[in-house]
Amino acid sequence: MTSKKIINKMADNIDPSLFEFAEYDETKGELSGYSNYSFWRSTVQVFMKNKVALALLIVIAAVVAFTLIQPYLPNQKSPTQIYINPETGMQFRNVRPNGEFWFGTNSIGQDLWARIWSGTRTSLFIGFAVGLFEAIVGITIGALWGYVRKLDALITEIYNVWDNIPSTVVLIILTYIMKPSISTIIFAMCMTGWLQMARFVRNLIIIIRDREYNLASRCLGTPASRIITKNLLPYLVSVIMLRMALAIPAAIGNEVFLSYIGMGLPIDIPSLGNLINEGRSLMMDPNQRYQLFFPAVVISVVTISFYVIGNVFADSADPRNHV
Amino acid sequence: MGHKSIEEIINSEVILSVDDLVIKFNLRGQELTAIRGASLDLHKGESLAIVGESGSGKSVFTKTFMGLLDANGRIEEGTIMYKGEDLAKYKTEDEWIKIRGKEIAMVFQDPMTSLNPLKTIGKQVQESIELHQNLKGEEAKKLTLEILNDVGISEPEKRYKQYPHEFSGGMRQRVVIAIAVACNPNVLICDEPTTALDVTIQAQILQLLKNLQEKYNLTIIYITHDLGVVANVADRIAVMYAGDIVELGTADEVFFDPKHPYTWALLSSLPQLGIKGEPLYSISGTPPNLFKEIVGDAFAPRNPKALKIDFIERPPYFQVSQTHKARTWLLDPRAPKVEPPVMIQKMREKWGGADEK
Amino acid sequence: MKNKKEILLEVKNLIVEFGSRKKKFVAVNDVSFNIYKGETFGLVGESGSGKTTIGRAIIRINPAAGGEIIYNGKKISGKIDNETDKELTKKIQMIFQDPMASLNERAKVDYIVSEGLYNLKNYGTEENRKKMVEQALLDVGLLPEFASRFPHEFSGGQRQRIGIARVLVMEPELVIADEPISALDVSIRAQVINLLAELQKQKGLTYLFIAHDLSVVRFISDRIAVIHKGKIVELAESEKLFENPLHPYTTSLLSAIPTPNPRIERNKKIEMYNPGISHFDYDKNPPVWTEIEPEHFVLGNEREIKAYKKQKQ
């Protein structure tokens, strides 16, 4: 036993009056504040530690912002107008990037700079729309599927049937039946996209459904709808946001694919899919490669950014990483 | 009983000596002091119980003996002397490999998660033997079966080939103990070994540990909050509160002649001492926030009999007997005489004082 | 004990099963007992004994596969109409075991405590509801300002008290406490036990106290039922049960209770319960739930009952 701390001597210069009883305040013991942990604050903190994700978040924010303000900047060209060289009277076809056309022009004389930003705007819009729809429909169906036991068998069957049809086939059929337009494409992608979200949500709900706090809510008479919205969904926020983040590059990818097989948006609506498709046909000519280069860069940046941000956010939202 | 007496234990050599250990954690940008200068000596062959509630630091304290501290924790000050080496200075896994298992082994609380569900239990025990006892093949298997038998697993040949999910909770805990014992350690740390088990199984496991202690010459540290378990197994008891050891003594001394107000409160609040129809003695409030620096006695805000000095200066240890000491200003000669609560006195009446043999 | 033995809850031959028709597991196997108004009825058993399942069957989380549960004269097991359902939500409530898992982490304490009120819609104005929440928090020894905080800001004991507050605010008659202190620290248990006892006195509550810790149950209960593998094996007033346990499972359970006395504990001999040996003739002579003396029931067959009766003399 270490005896360093043991005092045997009386000689101590401590004021004897300190050996009287102190006032006892019971509430002082209760107020020792327990923890000031805040879920969202910790999530943000962990997220910010990842410099790559943070940088990409800024990049994406800049890109989105720019696509919105670009048309209102001075000296911007129209994305659909065909520009004619006043001297020659000919279209400005396949002009390489120069001072006038910052990204060059395409084969019919349209300004690629304007087309790219307009296309990015359209594609992002499609992506967000699909992501939003997926979220709403996917969560609703997933929640009912996971929580209401009676619906489990029914929805599982529907899911199995739907899931077995390759999504590309569905996409192609739908776009073929309805005329290609922005709404068609959004609709087609939504038809297949909700499946994965619903499955995710359902699996998570099954895990937390029988936890004690949900049993408590049932004992208190809380209806299923409120248990889902107030008890279960808040726990799924991080997963939901991850899936939404990944939905956007997925939508863009689908759109590019559709353009590739000729089912994409009509050419008068610029989109990243169209632009890639146009550029692809000129890939072999080293002088014209710029037409593929710019849209490819934009797509890559957008896809990678959303992917990284979504994953890092999901990790940050995991309470086990909140140390 | 075959077990050593208190005199023998006190006089046997000290195999582990912790001095003024301070452990801190980095938690969400803030610093938490989990252990605030704790000291302890472990004698060969004894059963030492560390009693404390959640937040007392009892698990963290013993994890440092094996280098199992979480990544965001560190030993700030103090020494852990074992066989002439200071374990507190160990930094690399290589250094700890020499200690873990072979010298110090641990039995964890939850047998459901302590075992590998994909390996047979025979293999898991045998691995331990092969790693730490330099035996292989048939010899190792023979020893495995012997150990399985020692821990009370009947038909060891048959059960050797079974997987953890084929065992009940109590049997799984026996397997966990077998793995620990198979390392042939010097010191066995049992972290709440029976908390997750039913009462009847609990008694069996404690008896098992006592038997193993004799057969394998083990020194055991029990970490628990259950005073019943402590009464059953402990030779000496260390009471921990808010990262500090506030009282240390033999089992008889701590149960029948406790000196620290927290120990009083802990013993008094047991339902076994309650009188029906009257409220149980209870401590109000909650343990202190370890993020903030604690001035004086950590238990003072919850202690109705606290002295003014308890809020100003941390009490040193006061020796009550050769084996018994407590960190409370109430033991200072200048302090007023305070009688332990009625419950403790009742306990003495019911079951006899510390001096009765 | 209680002079006016008004029966509040009757459980008759209750059977609760889990799993599908092929792989059925019978968790509660023909259990019968009564709970009198104002008493604390202790239900003690080890894990897997079915005690939690009984509590959940009473509050209708688990459906009863057989038998009846009758509350205040009305049948409440099986199908019931909406009105009765609403009434029961108010009258019968439950306190859960794990304070870390029984509160919704993402909701404020205010919502957690008022959840039941929102469901019953009987609180009148918003003002009134706030007052009820305040009062409930004060009743359990918490400060009203805690209503605007989240559960993670509180300790285990405080969280358990929040769980009790949310039950109190419903003004129930019967409270099923399912291991309310098992997950709490030793020193906090006394706080919560005292609180429960105090509330019972103040509000005239009836408790079904489910636990595995016999010493706590002895302290707080008027009568105790011991349950083993889905069957109640003994039922008696607390002190009677401890002084004179009859069923071998009860004696084994009692012998295993840890006492905080080193001298007794060190030399304790545990009595093992071996149903194969004690009940070797159950196939030929199945056991019957018998009243050996007033208010002391045991599960045993003819041979055992004879032996128990001899023991009493």
- What pLDDT is attached to residue B1? 41
Q: What sign does the CA torsion over B299, B303, B305, B308 have?
A: positive
CATH at C177: 3.40.50.300
- Same domain for C151 and C289? no
Name which of C46, C190, C267 is nearest B281 (Cβ-Cβ).
C190
- Same domain for C292 and C155? no
- Same domain for C180 and C292? no
Looking at C196, C229, C262, the residue that finishes a domain is C229
Range of the domain at C49: 7-229
Q: Within chain C, how many helices (H) and strands (E) appear?
A: 12, 12
- What pLDDT is attached to residue B356? 43
From chain C, the residues in CB contact with A216 under 8 A are 94, 96, 102-103, 163, 166
Which chains, if any, share at least 3 CB pairs under 8 A with chain A? B, C
Tell me whether residues C166 and A220 touch, CB distance under 8 A.
yes
In DSSP terms, C42 is beta-bridged to C209, C224
To the nearest whole number, what is the mean pLDDT of chain B?
A: 88
Query: Could you tell me if A21 lies within 8 Å of chain B, comparing CB atoms?
Result: yes
Give the count of Cβ contacts less than 8 A between chain A and B. 87
- What pLDDT is attached to residue B281? 81
Domain count, chain C: 2
pLDDT at residue B342 tops 50: yes
More confident residue, C205 or B352: C205
Q: What phi and psi, each to the nearest 5 degrees, are found at residue B20?
A: 50, 50
- Same domain for C202 and C257? no
pLDDT digits (tens, 9 = 90+) for C244-271: 899 999 999 888 888 888 888 877 777 8
If 0-12 CB within 10 Å is exposed, 13-18 middle and 19+ buried, where does residue A197 land? Answer: buried
Q: DSSP of B149-218, one letter per residue?
A: HHTT-SSHHHHHT--GGGS-HHHHHHHHHHHHHHT--SEEEEESTTTTS-HHHHHHHHHHHHHHHHHHT-
Question: Is position C64 within any domain?
Answer: yes
Query: Could you tell me if A37 lies within 8 Å of chain B, comparing CB atoms?
Result: yes
If 0-12 CB within 10 Å is exposed, 13-18 middle and 19+ buried, where does residue B16 land? Answer: buried
Question: Is position C246 within any domain?
Answer: no
Which chains, if any, share at least 3 CB pairs under 8 A with chain B? A, C
Query: Could you tell me if A320 lies within 8 Å of chain B, comparing CB atoms?
Result: no
Task: Give the minimum alpha-carbon distance from A131 to chain C in angstroms, rounded to a whole number.
Answer: 25
Query: Could you tell me if A96 lies within 8 Å of chain C, comparing CB atoms?
Result: no
Which one-letter DSSP state was computed for residue C18?
E
In this prediction, residues B208-221 reach a mean pLDDT of 92
pLDDT digits (tens, 9 = 90+) for B83-136: 999 999 988 888 898 889 889 999 988 888 889 999 999 999 999 899 888 888
The nearest alpha carbon in chain C to B204 belongs to C270
Which pTM was predicted? 0.84
- What pLDDT is attached to residue B121? 92
Q: What phi and psi, each to the nearest 5 degrees, are found at residue C198?
A: -60, -45
Joined tokens for residue B91:
């930094």
- All domains in chain A, ordered by first residue: 47-52+115-321 (1.10.3720.10)
Q: Letter for the amino acid at C240?
A: K
- What pLDDT is attached to residue A318? 78
Tell me whether residues C119 and A222 touch, CB distance under 8 A.
yes
Question: Is position C297 within any domain?
Answer: yes
In this prediction, residues C93-100 reach a mean pLDDT of 94
Question: Is position C75 within any domain?
Answer: yes
Task: Give the minimum alpha-carbon distance from B40 to chain A in angstroms, rounded to a whole number.
Answer: 7
More confident residue, C237 or C277: C237
- What ipTM was predicted for this assembly? 0.88
Tell me whether residues C273 and B200 touch, CB distance under 8 A.
yes
- Same domain for C164 and C284? no
- Same domain for C260 and C221? no
Q: Which residues of chain A have pLDDT under 70?
A: 1-14, 25-37, 323
Q: Which residues of B touch A (CB under 8 A)?
A: 17, 19-20, 26-29, 39, 41, 72, 248, 284-289, 300-313, 316-319, 325, 329, 332-336
| Helical spans, DSSP H, in chain B | 6-11, 58-63, 93-99, 111-114, 121-132, 137-150, 156-160, 169-182, 199-216, 227-233, 251-256, 261-268, 342-351
Name which of C185, C188, C262 is nearest B231 (Cβ-Cβ).
C262
Percent of chain C with pLDDT over 90: 56
From chain B, the residues in CB contact with A6 under 8 A are 316-319, 325
Task: Give the minimum alpha-carbon distance from B241 to chain C in angstroms, rounded to a whole number.
Answer: 12
Tell me whether residues B269 and C156 touch, CB distance under 8 A.
no
- Same domain for C184 and C280? no
- Same domain for C49 and C133? yes
Question: Is position C117 within any domain?
Answer: yes
From chain B, the residues in CB contact with A28 under 8 A are 285, 301
pLDDT at residue B173 tops 50: yes
Place of tokens 């009892």: B58
From chain A, the residues in CB contact with C89 under 8 A are 219-221
Question: Is position C242 within any domain?
Answer: no
- Same domain for C138 and C76? yes
Strands C74-75 and C66-71: antiparallel
Q: Which residues of C touch A (CB under 8 A)?
A: 56, 59, 61, 85-86, 89, 93-94, 96-98, 101-107, 111, 115-116, 118-120, 143, 152-155, 158, 163, 166, 170
Beta carbons of C12 and C32 less than 8 angstroms apart:
yes
- What pLDDT is attached to residue A3? 40
